[in-house]
Amino acid sequence: MRAYDIAIIGAGPAGLTASIYGERAGYSCVVLDPNPMGGGQIINTYQVDNYPGLPGISGMELGNRMKAQAESFGAEFLTERVLTIEKDTDFFLSTDKDKIKAKAVILAMGAKPRELGVNGESDFREAGVSYCATCDGAFFRNKDVAVIGGGDTALIDAIFLSRFASVVYLIHRRDEFRAAASVVDQALKIDKIKPIYNTVVDSIEGDMSVSSLHLRDVSTGKETNLSVRGVFIAVGTVPVTSDIAGLPEMNMGYIVADETGITSVPGIFAAGDIRTKKLRQVVTAASDGANVITSADAYIRSKL
Ligand code: NAP
């Protein structure tokens, strides 16, 4: 069994920032994530325009840089999935490979794409249905695709996909996008991006792969078929809390915690998109990662 001062679950901006602050505070930190690449959700974001000081950086590059910075301070990274957390005097984490002992635990598992929940979605997964434009966009060169959603992810995905696709239909259930105004302006200036407002997808159809979407106008009830070869679903995220046993109190799947990261279990802290909060951004995840180390430090010292 390996022992550390702080075990951090999740290598997104919250977990990586916690590991940087933790190591700089003199604690041995291990970061556990089944994905060997640092960055969490941001590795799927083609361009991050609002992280201070690094305008236009790709999510992949930002994640790589944060991980390299954490490693330079001594943080250790293990490509392991945490299955259970048990508390004794210390914490014991069982992973899919080993056991880890730690004085404090930071939950920073983040969130994953929400499914749309319509017929055909699971049938055509990886056969035209995607949740990651940056991963799969290039497969749709000169083809018609659709993006579903009206938030920053949907709009940024549509902008990215317009590099490859012939037409990008941007299908949103309301008549106004939720994304930042600057992103909306940028997207709507691109001729290839065709917004379709007040419309929902009732089903995704095809044979071996996606060939069309069955759409419904929510204001008129009119139903239509739209021919597309790819559909990129960007309808928000859900917290990644379902696969670990022994977690603190949750609300709708999010760990209940404020900016301090303090949860219902002393010694377990939460940072980033995984916790109850209003604004889920890279900068607020990084902020949580710093704050949570102050709380973990106070907890560890109180046990001395
Ligand atoms: P989001 O902001 O929650 O937006 C989800 C979108 O999907 C909304 O427009 C919502 O419609 C729509 N939606 C939800 N359920 C739906 C359903 N069942 N059918 C049809 N449409 C549905 O999610 P997000 O865009 O993934 O962003 C998540 C967070 O990350 C946000 O805080 C965002 O600002 C941030 N983010 C930032 C960047 C960046 O700055 N570079 C990039 C990506 C994401 P309504 O609008 O009607 O609710």
Q: pLDDT digits over 10-32, tens only? A: 999 999 999 999 999 999 999 99
- pLDDT tens-digit map of 126-182: 899 999 998 899 999 999 999 999 999 999 999 999 999 999 999 999 999 999 999
User: Is 29 annotated as catalytic?
Assistant: no
CA gap 8, 27 in Å, rounded: 12
> How many Å from the N-terminal Cα to the C-terminal Cα in the chain?
22
pLDDT value of residue 135: 86
Q: Which of 46-50, 128-132, 136-140, 189-193 has the lowest mean pLDDT?
A: 46-50
For residue 46, pLDDT over 90 is answered with: no
C-beta atoms surrounding 26 within 10 Å? 9
User: What is the atom index within ligand 1 of the atom nearest the CA of 236?
Assistant: 23
pLDDT tens digits along 72-124: 999 999 999 999 999 999 999 999 999 999 999 999 999 999 999 999 999 99
Q: Is 275 in the pocket of ligand 1 (CB under 6 A)?
A: no
For the chain, what percent of residues have pLDDT higher than 70? Answer: 100
Q: Which amino acid is at 157?
A: D
The catalytic residue among 49, 90, 123, 132 is 132
Report the predicted TM-score, pTM, of the whole model to 2 decimal places.
0.87
Residues 241, 134, 225, 221, CA torsion sign: positive
H helix runs in the chain, sequence order: 13-24, 59-72, 133-136, 152-161, 181-188, 282-302
Atom 18 of ligand 1 has which residue's CA nearest to it?
116
Instruction: For 90, list phi and psi in degrees, rounded to 5.
Output: -105, -175
Q: Give the per-residue pLDDT at 44.
A: 86
- Sequence length of the chain is 304
Band of pLDDT at residue 47, cut at 50, 70 and 90:
confident
Q: For ligand 1, pick from 58, 173, 198 the residue to mutate: most ligand atoms within 8 Å of CB.
A: 173
Task: Judge whether residue 243 has pLDDT over 90.
Answer: no
**% of the chain residues with pLDDT over 90:** 95
- Radius of gyration of the chain measured on its C-alpha atoms: 21
Integer Cα distance of 216 and 235 in angstroms = 17
Burial (CB < 10 A; 0-12, 13-18, 19+), residue 289, is buried
Q: What is the rounded average pLDDT of the residues 276-281?
A: 93
Distance in Å, CA 200 to ligand 1 centroid: 15
Structural element, H or E, at residue 71: helix 59-72
Give the ligand 1 atom nearest the CA of 51.
Answer: 40
Cβ neighbours for 69, distance < 8 A, ≥ 6 positions apart: 16, 20
User: How high is the mean pLDDT of the chain?
Assistant: 96
From the list 176, 122, 186, 118, the residue with the least C-alpha distance to 149 is 176
Closest C-alpha residue for ligand 1 atom 4? 151
Choose, from 5, 29, 33, 136, the residue flagged as catalytic.
Answer: 136
- With a cut of 90, say whether residue 244 has pLDDT above it: yes
Amino acid at residue number 266: P
Asked if residues 158 and 187 have their Cβ atoms less than 8 Å apart, the reply is yes
Residue 261 half-sphere exposure, CB side, CA atoms within 13 Å? 33
With b for 16 or more beta-carbon neighbours within 10 A and e for fewer, the 72-99 pattern comes to eeebebbebbbeebeeeebbbbbbeeee
229 close to ligand 1 (CB < 6 Angstrom):
no
> How far is ligand 1, taken at its centre, from the CA of residue 57, in Å?
20
Neighbouring C-beta atoms of residue 52, cutoff 10 Å: 8
> Rounded to an integer, what distance in angstroms lies between the CA atom of residue 12 and that of residue 16?
6
Between the CA of 21 and the centroid of ligand 1 the distance, in Å, is: 30
The Cβ of residue 6 has, within 10 Å, a number of other Cβ atoms equal to 29
Contact 58 CB / ligand 1 (< 6 Å): no
**214 CB under 6 A from ligand 1?**
no
Is there an atom of ligand 1 within 6 Å of 19 CB? no
Output the six-digit token pair for 73.
């301070």
Ligand 1 site, residue 110, Cβ cutoff 6 A: no
5: DSSP letter: E
Q: Is the beta carbon of 152 within 6 A of some atom in ligand 1?
A: yes
For residue 242, name the pLDDT band (cuts at 50, 70, 90): confident
